Amino acid sequence: MNLPKSFAASAVAAVLMAALSACGSAPKGDVAHGAELYAQCSACHAMQENNLGPAHCGLFGRKAGTVPGFGYSSAMRESGIVWDEKILSEFLVSPFSYLPGTVMGFAGFPNEQDRLDVIAYMKQQTSDPSVCPTS
């Protein structure tokens, strides 16, 4: 009766496989899940138009607080942020803590995978010319 031994062996194999697949790929966002999460942003944001929040087209590489016609907080205007994936992820953990004085009324995504997913979706949308025309 060597059940415990083979059980242990398969448990070790499972752990090894999980470790291997975790190492083999850089953290990646799931665009489809990101689209679901972005519904929470859509309460205030749209890609092309300013709404309760500023338009998101052109976000990546843009200086924070610079969408024409949007009334930002001075905290956002004076933040010195240039949006990229890394800073956006840090901001979205908890916008109020990252940027005291921001008027963005969103508590944050504490879960890193959620942030990766929503950012993957935003990257996909903002680089799609049918969503965000470049001219």
Q: State how far the Cα of 85 lies from the Cα of 125, in Å rounded to an integer.
A: 14
CB of 127 to ligand HEC, least distance (A): 15
Residue 5 or 62 with smaller CB distance to ligand HEC: 62
CB of 70 to ligand HEC, least distance (A): 7
CB of 112 to ligand HEC, least distance (A): 14
Residue 8 or 52 with smaller CB distance to ligand HEC: 52
Residue 31 or 44 with smaller CB distance to ligand HEC: 44
Does residue 17 contact residue 8 with C-beta atoms inside 8 Å?
Answer: no
Does residue 29 contact residue 121 with C-beta atoms inside 8 Å?
Answer: yes
Six token digits for residue 90? 């840090």
Residue 17 or 49 with smaller CB distance to ligand HEC: 49
Residues of this chain that interact with ligand HEC (CB under 6 A) are 40-41, 43-45, 52-54, 59, 64-65, 67, 72-73, 75-76, 83, 88, 92, 102-106, 118
Does residue 93 contact residue 115 with C-beta atoms inside 8 Å?
Answer: yes
CA distances for 46 relative to 15, 21, 67, 132, angstroms: 42, 36, 13, 11
Residue 73 or 94 with smaller CB distance to ligand HEC: 73
CB of 135 to ligand HEC, least distance (A): 19
CB of 24 to ligand HEC, least distance (A): 29
Distance of CA 15 to the CA centre of its chain: 29
- Minimal CA–CA distance to 48: which of 61, 67, 20? 67
